Amino acid sequence: MAPLRQGPPLLLDMEGARGSSPLFSPSLPGLPGSRQALCVWLPTFELRLDLVRSPELDATSVALLSPGEGTRRTLWQVSERAADAGARPGQMVSQAISLCPSLTLLEPDPAHYDAAQEEMVEALMELSPVVEPAGPGRVFVGMDGLERLYGPPSQQVMRALQALLEVFPRPLVAATRMGRAPGKFGAWVAATRSGPGRPVLVGEADLPSFLASCPVSVLPVDPLMIQRLERLGIATLKQLAALPQSALVSQFGLQGRKAVEWATGRRLDPVRPLHRPQPIRVSLDLPSPAGRTETLHGALDRLLEKALARPDRRGRSIRGVRLRARLEGGGSWSVEAILREPAARRESLAFPLRGKMALSPPPRAVESLAVELFQFGAATTQPGFFDRKEEGGREAEGTELEEGSVPPSLREAVRELKLKLGHSPLYRVVEMDPWSRIPERRYALLSFEP
Amino acid sequence: MKNPDPRAFRPLNTPRPVRVRTGEGGRPLVLHLNGGGQKVLQILEIWQIDEEWWREPISRRYATLTLEEGRTVTVYRDLLEDRWYLQEG
C-alpha cells in the first residue's frame, strides 16, 4: 500500500485539555496503570481503512474529505500519489482538483472507522488487560509484567503485530508504527520515530538521551507554545531541558513544567486501563429513505425519548451523544455533541445535535438513524433515589422535575436523616451578594429542609 | 426565643490563615501549604479592597500567585491585622 499523508498528529495536553484529548481517554481513576508503554499507531488510519475496502484505488490519487464542513469542503487525508501532485490536507477541494484533476474524493465513513478502532482495541486487549485508546488508529498498551508471558520487548512487539493481524488485513498491519518506552510520552515519540516493520524500543536508561534529540513539536502541549519555543530558537528537547524550570513555568504555566518533565524523562505517564461505560444505543429504520430536516428531527426526538427511557440510563445524566445514519446507496454519516453540562432532558440533547445537523447535514437520504449515549455524568450514589414511584415523584420515562420542585422521596429521605442526626445534613448554595468585592459574602450554604 | 441552629447557614469561601514569607516591599516569596513551603514563581495580579470604613473597616491586598508546582492560588494580606489568608478571589 502506498504511504499516505495527513496533517500533523493532533496532540493535546494529556491532562490540561478540556473535553476528550486524543492522548488521554477516560480511564479508571486511582489505578496505578502500567509504567512500560507500547504505542501502536496507524497514521492516516481513516484513509487506509477506506483503501482496504477499495483496493482498486490504491494506485490512484485519493483524498478523504474532512467530515462535517458543509459546502466548503476541505481535504482531510491524502495519498502519497495525490500529495506528489500537490494535494495537501486542509486544502480546499476546488484547489486540490485544479492541481490534481484525476483526484478521487472519498466521503468519510465514521461508523466504519469507529468499528475498526473498536476491533483494534479488542485485539490488543488479548495481549494485555491495560489498553488505553488515544484517538483514531492510536492505542497505548500497558506492557508491565509481560516478559514471562511473551519474552523480551522485541517479542512482545511481535505479539502485538500478530494480535492486529487477527482483525486487520496484512497491508494495514504492515503500515503500523510501534514504539515501546517507559511512559506514554516516550512510547508515542518512539512510535513517531519508527517505520513500517521497524519498531523503536527505548529502555529505561536510554530514555533521556533518546528524547534529547527529538524536536519540541513532539510535546503534547498547546501548538502555540511549540510555535513560541521554535521562534525563540529552542528546537530540540535537549535545548528545552537546559532551560530553568522556573522560567518555563513563568512563561507557559503548568504546561511549561510538564514540558520540561517530559523532555527530561522525569515525567512518566502510566498507561491506564480503559474505563468504558457501556453506551446506550437505539436505532430506527425509516419506512423510506428520508432527507427532509423535519422528518429527521422527528426521528431524532423519538430516538432520544427511547434512549432516555432505557432502564440502564436511569440515575445517570448524559454528557456525550452521537447521531448516526446509514445512507441510501451505502456509507454512513454521524455527528456528535459533548454537552458542557450533563443533561437528561430530550430537548437539551436534541438541541446541539440539531445544530450540528444544520451545519453538516447527511449528504444523501437516510435509511436508518441511530442515537448513541456514550458519555455519562456522575452516577447518583443512590440509584433509584429519584425514581421511586410515588405520587408526585419523578416519572421513570426520562422526564425531569420542574426546577425548584422537590420529589416526595427526597422529602422523606431528609426527614429520616433529621430524625437520625438531629439536623439536615443537606445544603443548597444560595446567593447572598454575588457582586460583593468581599468573596466570602457572595454565596452561602443554607440548610436544605424541604 | 429559640436560638437559630448554627448549622443552618454556612458562609462559603471563608479565608483560611496561611503562613507567608515575604521579601522586599512585602512581596510574597514562599507559601507554607500543607506543611511544605512552595516558592512563588510569579505574581500574576495584585489588587486591594478597602470597604466599610464606616463600621468595621476591611482592608485587604490580594495577590494571585503562580507557585513552583504550577498551581495558581489567591492570597491576601489583611492590612489591619497584618496577617495572610488564602482565599479564592
Supply the ipTM of this predicted assembly: 0.85
* pLDDT (average), residues B1-7: 53
Residues of A with CB below 8 A from B58's CB? Answer: 438
User: What is the distance in angstroms between the Cα of B67 and the nearest Cα belonging to chain A?
Assistant: 9
Among A36, A15, A28, A106, CA closest to A268: A36
* pLDDT (average), residues A158-164: 91
Determine the pLDDT at residue A395: 41
Q: What H or E segment, with its residue span, contains residue B66?
A: strand B58-67
| pLDDT range class, residue A73, cuts 50, 70, 90 | confident
- Residue A429 near chain B (CB below 8 Å): yes
Query: Does the beta-carbon distance from A423 to B12 stay under 8 Å?
Result: no
Minimal-distance CA residue of chain B relative to A448:
B8
pLDDT at A22 over 50: no
| pLDDT range class, residue A401, cuts 50, 70, 90 | very low
* pLDDT (average), residues A400-428: 73
Query: Does the beta-carbon distance from A437 to B49 stay under 8 Å?
Result: yes
User: What is the distance in angstroms between the Cα of A18 and the nearest Cα belonging to chain B?
Assistant: 17
Residue whose entry in the numeric block shows the C-alpha cell 503562613: B19
Residues of A with CB below 8 A from B51's CB? Answer: 437-438
- Residue A437 near chain B (CB below 8 Å): yes
Of B7, B14, B41, the CB nearest to A440: B14
Query: Does the beta-carbon distance from A445 to B10 stay under 8 Å?
Result: yes
Determine the pLDDT at residue B40: 93
- Residue A345 near chain B (CB below 8 Å): no
Residues of B with CB below 8 A from A444's CB? Answer: 9-12
Determine the pLDDT at residue A393: 40
Q: Length of chain A in residues, anyone?
A: 450
Of B11, B41, B66, the CB nearest to A440: B11
Interval A352-383: pLDDT, tens: 999 988 888 898 889 999 999 988 875 533 33
* pLDDT (average), residues A276-288: 83
* pLDDT (average), residues A251-258: 87
Count residue pairs from A and B with Cβ separation < 8 A: 58
**Which range is least confidently modeled, A24-38, A292-306, A322-336, B57-71?**
A24-38
- Residue B42 near chain A (CB below 8 Å): yes
Residues of A with CB below 8 A from B4's CB? Answer: none
- Residue B11 near chain A (CB below 8 Å): yes
Determine the pLDDT at residue A31: 52
The whole-chain average pLDDT of chain A stands at 81
| pLDDT range class, residue A450, cuts 50, 70, 90 | low
Query: Does the beta-carbon distance from B15 to A444 stay under 8 Å?
Result: no
- Residue A427 near chain B (CB below 8 Å): yes
* pLDDT (average), residues A124-129: 89
User: What is the distance in angstroms between the Cα of B14 and the nearest Cα belonging to chain A?
Assistant: 5
C-beta of residue A450 within 8 angstroms of C-beta of residue A406? yes
Query: Does the beta-carbon distance from B13 to A423 stay under 8 Å?
Result: no
Of A254, A437, A440, the CB nearest to B51: A437
* pLDDT (average), residues A116-138: 89
| pLDDT range class, residue B6, cuts 50, 70, 90 | low
* pLDDT (average), residues A393-402: 42
Query: Does the beta-carbon distance from A446 to B66 stay under 8 Å?
Result: no
User: What is the distance in angstroms between the Cα of B42 and the nearest Cα belonging to chain A?
Assistant: 6
Determine the pLDDT at residue A426: 82
| pLDDT range class, residue B56, cuts 50, 70, 90 | confident
C-alpha cell at A72: 466548503
User: What is the distance in angstroms between the Cα of A242 and the nearest Cα belonging to chain B?
Assistant: 17
- Residue A250 near chain B (CB below 8 Å): yes
pLDDT at A285 over 90: no
